[in-house]
Structure 1
């Protein structure tokens, strides 16, 4: 398909997805991926490169069990769910650090990841419930903005991966755990160029600031005005629910009159992300407390995209699904 025709087709899909998302009272997400692979499945994962298990028999079995535990929750509770591809480090330099340096490795690895999830979704008969979000991670560190590329460089850097993922048949593009507002702008521009719908999820602290010091409201305003199309919605990634609640009350939080922050993929631990990143063990918290705090954010602030990040697993997502469906009774 000619690139302009493909972009137009993706734009039509983005419009359809935007309408679908607007009617959903809640969209559950998966929980932790990398932390589960490391601590639960004892899978070596240098640089959090979650694409590596796709290429050995044990690792592929681990990924099947891990993602299957989340898809089973969607099936059991009949809740729509977003799952993310194991491609957070499947960008050019992330691939090269793991020895994937062949000219076609970027396409091969990212397409393999998408195909894996599409096949699993079909096998588990949840195609009507589950959206596949293709994950694009930061060039360097998700918690430290030092060395992050400026916007123009970031757009050029992330564009090849965004294009491959959009062509692979995902439902939306997704950029989580970004520490730099400049790099977030660049990756948003790269995703927007595909025409496919996309979402972004920066990291913030208790005051609503990105690690580079940018107020969340300024990042939202800058990207929403500079990038066309703008993100379908914004999420917060990789922070504990209590930290988002604190940030929501700060001047750095975007206006609640026209909310753009629609969800949270939360950590199980209340530690700041940079401290959590230095731990040599898993801080998984309590699934029931996690679910209660997430449900409270849903009620109090209207957050509708709800799920887990570091330290969470199927128990946390199941507890959240139980509380969300109890509202139906």
Structure 2
């Protein structure tokens, strides 16, 4: 059963770490073949499961060392119907893979969870499309229907919440929130931004958050941004507004490159972990509730450790009950 579904502990303001760039670690550093950037395929065999478990356990130990909480995302960013079909998964096999992913992460939680290090298990959702570009826009209703099966699968597991990452336009995010509400699952939405600080759809981050809240009764537990360098977020924060209070999380890339440049890259750009940590510290000054922090493409334990060191003594503000 879920431990934290009724009240997510990261809403209380203390520092919660997240993991890093799972797929880039596995493919660039550990030489795993990840077709279509799908890490859930590693659940098929013992070697892959061991690699995933070792990866997540590294962050659990880090959270213990920093006496921080931890949000662990299941390796299911590509485990939705379209990508599953490309990978040879039929609906039942895909549902089984999502359940297996939760079980693996929940096993890490069982070994490391404590009052000092509460571990939240999050069922991870990815976009129907590419994640860097918009190839086909769904309506809100279509997005609800598309993502409902995966969310419903997570609702029957030990997952405490679901989180949709690399959202490129608001309609898909709104549909996901509606589907999560239908399943009574807490949900976080993480948008991605281009170098100009706007979503790939051209929407401002503020507009995307405000519209999603307006059309869903503010059901989302919180919002995040991911798969961008912190410098790409800066243009989105030039205006004021209460919407900033809804931003709790950042999972940034190590690289300053654009999505298009990263898509063409054949070598990993790991950037500077210490500089990334300083960037997070600077953003805390303008995002007072930012407390769920980890990495995305090109990052690993070094980057998240640098972030934890900078933010560990500076708790964010809690959300009122």
Q: Distance in 2 between matches of 1:216 and 1:327?
A: 25
Change in Cα spacing, 1:125 to 1:13, as seen in structure 2 (3 Å) is closer
Q: Distance in 1 between matches of 2:287 and 2:314?
A: 17
Q: Distance in 2 between matches of 1:13 and 1:83?
A: 13
Partner of 1:215: 204
Q: Distance in 1 between matches of 2:94 and 2:137?
A: 20
Residue 284 of structure 1 aligns to a residue whose secondary structure is coil
Q: How does 1:114-133 map to 2 (within 5 A)?
A: 114-126=102-114, 128-133=117-122
Q: How does 1:308-327 map to 2 (within 5 A)?
A: 308-325=295-312
> Is 1:44 matched with 2:62?
no
Q: How does 1:272-311 map to 2 (within 5 A)?
A: 272-302=258-288, 303-311=290-298
Partner of 2:87: 98
Residue 307 of structure 1 aligns to a residue whose secondary structure is strand
Instruction: Give the number of aligned pairs.
Output: 313
**Deviation at 1:270?**
0.7
Residue 110 of structure 1 aligns to a residue whose secondary structure is helix
* 2:147–2:179 Cα contact (<8 Å) kept: yes
Change in Cα spacing, 1:41 to 1:126, as seen in structure 2 (3 Å) is farther
Residue 285 of structure 2 aligns to a residue whose secondary structure is helix
**Deviation at 1:14?**
4.7
For residues 101-131 of structure 1, give each alpha carbon's deviation from its aligned partner in whole angstroms, at most 9, with x where no partner exists.
2x41122000000000001221235585211
Residue 88 of structure 2 aligns to a residue whose secondary structure is coil
Partner of 2:14: 25
* 1:74–1:129 Cα contact (<8 Å) kept: no
Residue 25 of structure 1 aligns to a residue whose secondary structure is coil
Q: Distance in 1 between matches of 2:175 and 2:64?
A: 36
Q: Give the counterpart of 1:16 among 7, 13, 16.
A: 7
Q: 5+ unaligned residues in a row in structure 1: which ranges? A: 1-8
Q: Distance in 2 between matches of 1:124 and 1:55?
A: 24
Partner of 2:49: 60
Moved over 4 A (4+): 12-15, 125-128
Q: Distance in 1 between matches of 2:206 and 2:234?
A: 15
Change in Cα spacing, 1:21 to 1:49, as seen in structure 2 (3 Å) is same
Partner of 2:97: 109
> Is 1:182 matched with 2:171?
yes
| TM-score, structure 2 as length reference | 0.91
Q: 5+ unaligned residues in a row in structure 2: which ranges? A: 316-321
Residue 83 of structure 1 aligns to a residue whose secondary structure is strand
For residues 122-163 of structure 1, give each alpha carbon's deviation from its aligned partner in whole angstroms, at most 9, with x where no partner exists.
123558521111111111111111213221111101000011
Change in Cα spacing, 1:67 to 1:126, as seen in structure 2 (3 Å) is farther
* 1:73–1:318 Cα contact (<8 Å) kept: yes
Partner of 2:64: 75
* 2:39–2:75 Cα contact (<8 Å) kept: yes
Q: Give the counterpart of 1:158 among 129, 136, 147.
A: 147
Q: How does 1:238-277 map to 2 (within 5 A)?
A: 238-249=227-238, 255-256=241-242, 259-277=245-263
